Amino acid sequence: MTRIHSAGTLAEATLVQRSLEDAGIHTEMRGMSRPGLAGEIPIPDAKVDVWVGEDDADAARAVLSGLEARAHLEWVCPRCGEHNPASFEVCWQCKQDVADDS
């Protein structure tokens, strides 16, 4: 398996997963509890990763680049309500970290 997308929200991960499954690519969501990764990579718990099989990685990337080109992936800033592209880790307007919902 290879990680194809790291989503800031479960909603985004679900959207990515659905799009990949629609393309006939088997996916797996990881990250809600992050087993086995503690101490390895410092990723906030809020991240949800979408994984696909090695053989499907290229096709999955093509699907994802299509998604991002259509700008369907975005998240709403919990602080100021601004819409941000999924590729942004922090709000472009107020610098709120996507993973920090406090």
Q: Which residues in this chain contact Zn ion in the complex, by CB under 5 A? A: 77, 79-80, 82, 91, 93-94, 96
Q: Closest CB to Zn ion among 28 and 101?
A: 101
Q: What is the enclosing helix (H) or strand (E) of 7?
A: strand 2-7
- In the complex, the smallest distance separating the C-beta of residue 96 from Zn ion, rounded to whole angstroms, is 4
Long-range contacts of 30-36 (CB under 8 A, 24+ apart): 30/3, 31/6
The closest alpha carbon to 49, from 16, 72, 96, belongs to 16
- In the complex, the smallest distance separating the C-beta of residue 102 from Zn ion, rounded to whole angstroms, is 13
Q: Closest CB to Zn ion among 27 and 96?
A: 96
Q: Closest CB to Zn ion among 15 and 77?
A: 77
Q: Which amino acid is at 75?
A: W
